[in-house]
Structure 1
Amino acid sequence: MTEAILLFLDINGVIDVEEDGKTPEQISKHETGYPVPGTKEFLQVIDNCPWIHPMWISSWELQSHVWNNWSKTRFWPVAYSLKETEKKQAIKLFPDASDKYLAVRWHSRDWQHRIVWIEDGFWLSMGAGSSMGAAVKWAESNSIVQLIDTVPTVQQHRQGYKKGIRHWNIERICDALDIQENREILLNQIKFLIPDSTDISSQNIIPCIEENQKIISNQINISTAHSVESLNQQIIHSNKDIKKLQNPTSFLLKIRNLFKFSNHT
């Protein structure tokens, strides 16, 4: 029997991602959105898995239900934001938690089974004292909690990977939610290309410090190459000038100035 899973699902940056050149879709009479490919099928599959207990954890708050109407699924409970009375009680129980993390801790306080939280930007918000940083530490110390980040790393972004539920994370999401029966439906809708073997999205939190260092190093190399190229151009132009020179003193002055330029670079 499949173990019960409490799912906290964000909207913006997960199933709703605005992209250049993409026309917004009418989600309800008064709301438009940018659903990623396969969103409707994804929500329907979750809704049809009896072991998954989904909750919206989004700034859409109660308006999250328009996505249930749009996808023709049942109304899911809304975890965020907390009502004022709930918030006061939650802060007493979890004084170090805040914002979405506080809501997740509150709604999962009596849950004894697995917890999956799908959000954009866990690894981008790992600063000391941040809500997401606290959530990461909580997951690292709790084996039943799994965080799935829908923001690609710097390396993945260079390879064309986009934010949201996409080809590069859908299999990991299916594994986390024990989706097997309708797995092919989602793969056909979402996984339009296969990432290479160097994909590192299987990790919960992926630091990008090394990538940033590589970027800086590349920028330095490009700058150096540009300086060398400029110097070579100067030499070429000087050689052309030599043929036209009739005054040797003028020629020596130009050579001297050229070496001065070389030393400054």
Structure 2
Amino acid sequence: MGKQRKRLGSAAYEAELFRLQQELVEVQEWVRAEGERVVVVFEGRDAAGKGGAIKRITQYLNPRVVRIAALPTPSERQRGQWYFQRYVEQLPARGEVVLFDRSWYNRAGVEHVLGFCTPEEHRRFLHQCPTFERLLVEDGIMLRKYWFSVSDEEQQRRFRGRIDDPMRRWKLSTTDLESITHWEDYSRAKDEMMTHTDIPEAPWYVVEGDVKKEARLNMIAHLLSTIPYTQVDQPEIEVPERPPGTGYERPPRDQATYVPDHVATLVGE
């Protein structure tokens, strides 16, 4: 067994994360200027760190350019559609990036393991998915797929942390807890999914997720390395001088309803 690598310090992590976020802003401007279309799929075990990575990616980006797609449970009408149809509606137009916080791969994972789809529907998904993704890439969409891996011990530790934290308890669903008792079933489902859908046009990239901070940096750095962007020259912007006044007078303050000064209760009068 090799020697364990030294952990990255907090200061170094924050500095590298900010550098990568600056680069993400450059990618955003290139996507918008060139009319590119980018799709990033985030999949993996529950509590593997997908949400944290998405949060850091979007922190400084324009939500009109970079959008998160996190679809709810399908409606009765959507259950009667072609399976991929509601995901097609979320695909980017020119100059957009869409981050799928879970995606069409629900069918290969939770739906298959927990019996929310039939064996025939699962088989059809594995058959159609590579063709679907090849069509996206053929049409010019840059498709990147990331699987966040986490050990069973680390997953359980994170679950317990969520139960004890009222600010994060909402993240823990009954479906998440079921993943503990179906650990090997999910492993088999993931292996089968990878066998069918790890294609040259849209390969899977596995992110080791036991150390969240390192997983975020590794994933973002890799994503940036796969996008052939160039720096876009930005126009010079100047703040204009305020024009001379024309006699406008602001109405008396007592004519408006202001929010109470809550801060005064914290710092005193």
The TM-score normalised by the length of structure 2 is 0.32
TM-score (norm 1): 0.32
Q: Which has the larger radius of gyration?
A: 1
Identify the structure with bigger relative contact order (alpha carbons < 8 Å, sequence gap 6+). Answer: 2
